Structures are given as C-alpha cells and as structure tokens.
Amino acid sequence: MYDFNHQSFEEPVLKTLSPGDEIIFQCSYDTSGRSIPTPFGDLTQQEMCWGAFIYYPRQAMNQGSFARTEGMMNPLSYFQTACSNPSTDPAFQNESECVRQYATDIWAIQDASIAGQGIQPAEHLCNHGIPSGAYAMDKYAVAQNFPGLCPQCVWAQTAACTDADIKAHARTVFCPQTCSQYGLSMWPDTSRTQATEPTHHTHCNGGSQ
C-alpha cells in the first residue's frame, strides 16, 4: 500500500494464498480536520491509495545464483584473508587469494550490490560486459564506470582479454590498490597483514600508502 502524500509504504505480512481465497484492499482517511474538499488523484498534492501484490506461481527452479557474502558482512576479515594469503587453487599457483577471487568472481571482491546478480569471472566481464539484469552494460561502459577494474585490453575492438591478461592485471594493478585501501600489502609481501577501515584518502585516491 502506498500513500502519495505521506510518501510511505505499508507492507503487510506475507501470506500464502490458496484457491478460492479473496483479497480485500481498503484505504481509510480522516478528513474531520479539513475545511476544504479532499481531492483524490495521481498528482502530488492529491490523495491517492495504490495497492499492489506480487504473485509467484509455484514452479520448478531451473537456474540459481549465489553471491558470497563474506566481503559484505565482514570486509576487514575478508580482505585480510584475500590479500595476505596465497591461493590454494592449483589454477592459481603462486598467486594471492585476491588474484583468484578477482579472476573467478570479480563482483564479490569489487561491489557487493552487483554481487547479488550472480557470479561473473573477470575475463567474461572484461570481454562481454554485464549482459543482463539491473546493471546490464557493455564492456566499454564497464571500463568507463569502473576505472582500473579491467586491463587495457578491454578497449580492443577485435582481440579479447586472455586469462594471462586478467591475472597480470589483478597481480599488478587491481589487488595492490584494493589491498592498500585496507592498509594491507599483497601476498607474497607480508609486511602489512592487519586490515584497517578505509579512509577517504585510501578509498578515493587509489589506496596509495
């Protein structure tokens, strides 16, 4: 239920509807204190009462997505682990955990709001952009909206960013900057392994120490 003048939503408790159930919707207004007629309509100075419901029919799930939440719930612990430790994945031998995370699920380490859209490897993002969903954009828009997120090969018209390009960019650009925002060095440099909250300087100016 939405009241235009009061700019507020009143959300009822979720219900399960069964065949034969009826939905009754009612709005009540106290106009006893008004000396002029109360206009109703969809203009901002008029009263309105708008009701809506969303119906989800039961169906078999054919696709699911999962977003890792460690970085969203406890970023200091998350980045301390990602930046200060080597990856245990054989495909990322002699790389930091940050490099592996960037390459395999870039949004989980970059942007929690987009992470909920599903897992996306950096190589796919930098070659194809975000193909669908609320944040859909091509790879050039990604490069413009998220400077430094992808290597320079993102601008190539014909060639594509390779796995080697992605790992090199994570190792030399993305991870050092991201880790530094949290006061961390990046493995194998273990000179700074205690995470701290980002400051305006470290978060907005590339994390330079």
pTM of the model: 0.64
Tell me the percentage of the chain whose pLDDT exceeds 70.
Answer: 79
Evaluate whether 91 touches 102 at the Cβ level (below 8 Å).
no
pLDDT value of position 1: 47
pLDDT tens digits for range 46-69: 777 777 777 777 777 766 655 555
Per the CB < 8 A criterion, the answer to whether 46 and 39 are in contact is yes
Question: What's the helix, strand, coil split of the chain in %, to 5?
Answer: 35, 5, 60
> Does the N-terminal peptide bond of residue 188 adopt cis geometry, omega within 30 degrees of 0?
yes
| More confidently predicted of 194 and 158 | 194
CB atoms within 10 A of CB 181: 24
How does pLDDT run across 81-128, given as a tens digit for each residue? 999 999 999 999 999 999 999 999 998 888 766 655 677 899 999 999
Span 5-33, mean pLDDT? 73
β-partners of residue 9 are: 2
The confidence band for 25, taking pLDDT boundaries of 50, 70 and 90, is confident
Say if CB 207 and CB 179 are below 8 A apart.
Answer: yes
Helix (H, G, I), strand (E, B) or coil at 145: helix
pLDDT digits (tens, 9 = 90+) for 148-163: 999 999 998 888 999 9
* CA neighbours closer than 13 Å in the CB half-sphere of residue 200: 0
DSSP-assigned letter for residue 171: I
Q: Which position has the higher pLDDT, 209 or 135?
A: 135
